[in-house]
Amino acid sequence: MASETVQHHRGWTVTFAGLGINLALGVLYTWSLFKAAIEKEFGWKGAQLNDPYALCCLVFAFTMILAGRCQDKMGPRLTASLGGVLVGLGLLLVSTTNHYGTWLLGFGVLVGVGIGFGYASATPPALKWFPPAKTGLIAGLVVAGFGLAPVYLAPTSDYLLRNFGILKSMMIFGGAFTVIVCGLAQWLVNPTAEQIGGIKAQAARLANSVPIVDCTPGQILRQPGFWLLWVIYFIGAGAGLMVISSVSGMAKKTMGDQAFIAVAVMAIGNAGGRIVAGVLSDRIGRRWTLMLVLLVQAALMFMAIPVTAATDGAKFIIVLLATFIGFNYGANLALFPSFTKDLWGLKNFGMNYGVLFTAWGVGGFALSRLQAMLFAASKDSAGHGNYASSFITAGVLLLVGGALTLGIRTKAAAKV
């Protein structure tokens, strides 16, 4: 009993260390604030403003495959530390110049790779400390840090950008995130073989516990169910990232200089969605939770059309809408790691989830770039654009994604 208590405490320590790492790595979600400062200080126009962000999403996602492999083989501590160093180097590099190509390299590539290594190391060790019945809860808590980051980063970024400008702000963030991520990485440890045996014994005492077969990446790529999940993830994540990358600009019409508040409040919804969806999926199953999330998100996209078009609407409406969109987007980031563990086991979890996570990156890259193109195409002679076509596109895709969830075969393991 005493050993189980110590094991339980260690599991929570690892969980909250992973959450803390993701709190730092969530700088990606404040891009809409950086974008406004870049446009003002650098004079970039059109799709250029979204390119470093879109590339970062893509690089982050594909790095997860390599990072997952490193995490599985070398452990989370070293992998996360490497991620912290790379994020810091990328931000320090972009703090030296306004050159477009350097920002693609620094923010798009180095920061993207660094986030991939850090993010890939946070969830697997935490899940290994707990029985299957808590998979959704633990995954939701760890990834909640990534979504919650803008709660403090949005006002911090707003302050730094107003007082120091974009370049010095990147330098400050670069130094801070290196120290934070590398420091917290030292708390990421996997359970020993003996401790894993204890966790399995504890899980075996649960009535709903079922054995799970460990699969390799090569095996899951041959499963039609994997590609169905990939397409749904592409839709759910990409539609959410379309909004997140531009929420500050959408809110400026009604909120002016206080638009950063919408970014921060969306982050609360983003983080809350990860935890709530994780817990709900432990109770009613992953598939039904995912279907509910996608269909509600589709409805929100259509509701957003008149709200974002208004110039004199109540501020709380845009904030409320941002919160719910963030909530439903965040749910995806808890559900798909849980699907990965349920269906394909923990032995190769890092790399398996890395392969599935490419859907997040491709969705973020493709749909956020599509959103920028649609917005540019909607501009009138006075240079004013609207987001109607972006929301319609996202809403239709989400309805398709919701229908596709009916084809997911979760087996018994996906509900424990």
Confidence of residue 390 (pLDDT cuts 50, 70, 90): confident
- Amino acid 406: pLDDT: 94
Q: DSSP letter at 302?
A: H
- Amino acid 209: pLDDT: 47
This prediction has a pTM of 0.79
d(CA 119, CA 128): 16
Domain residue ranges of the chain, discontinuous segments joined by +? 2-415
Cα three-residue angle 128-134-141, rounded to 5 degrees: 85
Confidence of residue 173 (pLDDT cuts 50, 70, 90): very high
Segment of 113-117, 123-127, 200-204, 247-251 carrying the highest mean pLDDT: 113-117
In order of 30, 56, 179, 185, 252, the CA distances from 84 in angstroms are 18, 15, 8, 9, 33
Segment of 203-212, 318-327, 405-414 carrying the highest mean pLDDT: 318-327
Q: What is the mean pLDDT of residues 134-150?
A: 87
Over residues 404-413, the pLDDT tens digits come to: 999 997 654 3
Evaluate if residue 265 carries a pLDDT over 80. no
d(CA 324, CA 327): 5
Q: What is the mean pLDDT of residues 251-267?
A: 68
- Amino acid 246: pLDDT: 62
Q: What is the mean pLDDT of residues 268-292?
A: 91
- Amino acid 252: pLDDT: 63
341 versus 309: the higher-pLDDT residue is: 341
* Token representation of residue 331: 């749910």
* CATH architecture classification, 2-415: Up-down Bundle (1.20)
- Amino acid 280: pLDDT: 94
User: Please, where are the H alpha helices in 129-223?
Assistant: 135-185, 193-204, 217-221
212 versus 230: the higher-pLDDT residue is: 230
Q: What is the mean pLDDT of residues 160-186?
A: 95
Evaluate if residue 84 carries a pLDDT over 70. yes
Q: What is the mean pLDDT of residues 301-325?
A: 75
Lowest mean pLDDT of 26-35, 86-95, 151-160, 406-415, name the range.
Answer: 406-415
DSSP string, 53-89: HHHHHHHHHHHHHHHHHHHHHH-HHHHHHHHHHHHHH
d(CA 87, CA 149): 15
Lowest mean pLDDT of 86-95, 204-213, 287-296, name the range.
Answer: 204-213
- Amino acid 188: pLDDT: 93
321 versus 185: the higher-pLDDT residue is: 185
- Amino acid 186: pLDDT: 95
AA identity, residue 198: G
- Amino acid 290: pLDDT: 96
Evaluate if residue 306 carries a pLDDT over 50. yes
Confidence of residue 219 (pLDDT cuts 50, 70, 90): very high
